[in-house]
Amino acid sequence: MGKGKIGKKITECQIFLTRGCNLHCGYCNLVKKQLKKELSINEWEKAFMNLEKIGIKTVKILGGEPTIIEGFEDLIRFINKETSIKYAVLSNSMFGDDKTESLISAGIQGYFASVDSVGDVKALDEDGSAKSQAGFKKLMEFKRGGIKLLGANVVISKKNLQDIPEIVKALSDNGIWVNLCPVVCGKGNDWEFRANVSDEFRLTDADRPEINNVVIKLLQMKHEGCKIAMPDSYLVNMSKYGIRSNWRCSELAQLRIDADGVFMLCNDIRGEVSKKYNILEMNKERFEEFKKDWKKEREETDCPGCYWSCFLTAEENLKKGGEFGYFYKEDRE
């Protein structure tokens, strides 16, 4: 797919099912900015029907913490029965065995956890440590339950940088896909939902040589079959994204929908488009209008830059004419 066509056919979406959460991680401001009203489960059912109508094929369901929503398993059953959408749930893993069993019984397609270490926890704060400790354990529980699509979001910081290849290998060896995310720092005050982190975790120019050494190892591991989800182009530029959050989307490649159903400008900015477009009122014609308004607002927005691998990956997928490979890989094997 040529560059001029990027953004024409959007097939990926991420949704904040809720802004509510049972943790209060210091680097996340999302839970501090609650909405007046969030969509109900019945409304989300309609939302997923509309997502399919406008061409969405893969969805990541996140929050907040989606598993705290009453009736979440009913939504999973609905998506499985009434749509062809492939999805994965991104959770903090802070729930008990009963919830794990109920999600497996409901037919959850995929599960992503936060795992910043496989040994000594080096997460950004106490709540971050708790979910990192629980993440790997929960992934193994879902694996034993027969869930094929498993993934881990690994936040890279100064504390765990040297351990990243070991963490990635441990996850991949257990059949878990790995998404690597440099820690947000330097410009957090310009984002709506992210807070800055302390200097002990920030990646700086002094860390660039070590970042590049780690990248060399990661590229070799990926080419040898390691389950690293992001494209080579992201890994090669890891020091740029990690140190300065220096990447800006040029085209719409992936949707982000907030907990009240509005279409957002990006992961961290609701934007003016949120006042006009809601998934409950979405159809193909409205979607085309949204794309035009998104393009106009994006060009007028003084974006501080970001690190979001999901958007860059979505751009790469559009160039190749397909969605995240790991959403379909297991189905083909």
pLDDT digits (tens, 9 = 90+) for 152-170: 999 888 888 999 999 999 9
Q: What is the pLDDT of residue 302?
A: 80
How far, CA to CA in Å, does 124 sit from each of 142, 169, 185, 283, 312? 25, 22, 12, 41, 24
Exposure string of 302-330, with b = 16+ CB inside 10 Å and e = fewer, is: ebbebbbbbbbbbbbbbeeeebbebbeee
- If you average pLDDT over residues 6-16, what whole number do you get? 80
List the alpha helices (DSSP H) in 155-303.
Answer: 164-173, 208-223, 232-236, 238-244, 284-300
Q: Given pLDDT bands bounded at 50, 70 and 90, which one contains residue 86? A: very high
For residue 80, the domain's CATH number is 3.20.20.70
pLDDT in tens, 106-130: 999 999 998 877 665 444 445 556 7
Q: For residues 235 and 219, is the Cβ–Cβ distance under 8 A?
A: yes
- Assess whether pLDDT exceeds 80 at residue 265: yes
pLDDT in tens, 189-247: 555 666 666 778 888 899 999 999 999 999 999 999 999 988 888 888 888 877 877 77
Place of tokens 């590229």: 219
Q: What is the pLDDT of residue 253?
A: 86
* Higher per-residue confidence, 118 vs 140: 140
Q: Which two tokens stand for residue 251?
A: 């085209």
- Assess whether pLDDT exceeds 80 at residue 56: yes
**What are the φ and ψ backbone dihedral angles of 54, each rounded to 5 degrees?**
-95, 5
Q: Which two tokens stand for residue 238?
A: 């890891």
Q: What is the pLDDT of residue 320?
A: 67
pLDDT in tens, 170-205: 999 999 999 988 876 555 455 566 666 677 888 889
List the alpha helices (DSSP H) in 107-207.
Answer: 126-144, 164-173
List of residues 6+ apart from 85 with CB closer than 8 A: 48, 51, 52, 56, 57, 58, 59, 79
User: How far is Cα 83 from Cα 183, in angstroms, rounded to an integer?
Assistant: 35
- If you average pLDDT over residues 267-275, what whole number do you get? 90
**Secondary element (H or E) of residue 315:** helix 309-320
Q: Which range, of 44-48, 128-132, 148-152, 258-262, averages the lowest pLDDT?
A: 128-132
Q: What is the pLDDT of residue 181?
A: 83
Total domains, the chain: 1
Q: What is the pLDDT of residue 333?
A: 42
Q: Which range, of 49-58, 149-158, 274-283, 301-310, averages the lowest pLDDT?
A: 301-310
Q: For residues 265 and 301, is the Cβ–Cβ distance under 8 A?
A: yes
- Assess whether pLDDT exceeds 60 at residue 3: no
**What are the φ and ψ backbone dihedral angles of 282, each rounded to 5 degrees?**
-95, 140
Query: On the CB side of 59, how many CA atoms lie within 13 Å of its CA?
Result: 29
Q: For residues 197 and 183, is the Cβ–Cβ distance under 8 A?
A: yes
User: How far is Cα 154 from Cα 141, in angstroms, rounded to an integer?
Assistant: 19
- If you average pLDDT over residues 38-44, what whole number do you get? 97
Place of tokens 């975790």: 201
User: How far is Cα 26 from Cα 34, in angstroms, rounded to an integer?
Assistant: 16
Domain that holds residue 256: 3-332
Q: Which two tokens stand for residue 331?
A: 């189905």
Q: Which of 80, 211, 230, 85 is nearest to 156 (CA)?
A: 211
User: How far is Cα 188 from Cα 27, in angstroms, rounded to an integer?
Assistant: 9
In this prediction the pTM is 0.88
* Higher per-residue confidence, 320 vs 78: 78
User: How far is Cα 114 from Cα 92, in angstroms, rounded to an integer?
Assistant: 6
Q: Which two tokens stand for residue 201?
A: 């975790």
